Amino acid sequence: MVLHRDDFSPAQASEALQSGPLLLNRGTPLETMRGLGRYARRTVLGTDKEGRVVIAVTDAVLGGLSFVELQDLFSNGKWQLDTPELLNLDGGGSAQLYFKSGRVEESVPGTSEVPVAIGFFVKAN
C-alpha cells in the first residue's frame, strides 16, 4: 500500500520504506512540493482502486514529464489507470524498469548504473 506519512501506523506493516514526494493521495494531487513543473525522467509506484501495484518509468526522449503531468495522467484515468495513491521515486538516469510475467517481457533501460532497486516477487507458500 502507499500511504501519506500522517496516515501510517507501524502496526500496519511488517516492513515499510519512506520515499517521496507523494503525487496523489486519495486521488487528489498534492501541490505542496517544489519543482512541480520541472521536466525529467520519472519513476512512480502506486496502487489502483483494486489495490494492484502500478509501476511506471517515463523516458526523457521528449524531455521527460513534470509532476503535474504525472498527476494528471494517473488521476484522471487517461491511461485507464485510476491510481488514487501515487508515489514518485528517484527518477533520473538510473531510473529503469524490467518486467516479466509469463510470455510478456518489457524493459526500459536507464542511462546510468542502478544504485538501489525495488523487486516484486511471487510469494511462496
CB 113 within 8 A of CB 95: no
38 is a domain residue = yes
Look at residues 63, 20, 15, 62 and name the one whose alpha carbon lies nearest to residue 43. Answer: 20
37 is a domain residue = yes
66 is a domain residue = yes
Residue 38: give the domain boundaries. 15-108
> What pLDDT sits at residue 50?
87
Average pLDDT, the chain: 82
30 is a domain residue = yes
Kindly state the cell numbers that stand for 60.
Answer: 526523457
41, pLDDT greater than 80: yes
117 is a domain residue = no
65 is a domain residue = yes
32, pLDDT greater than 70: no
Q: What is the mean pLDDT of residues 70-85?
A: 78
46 is a domain residue = yes
Domain count, the chain: 1
> What pLDDT sits at residue 91?
75
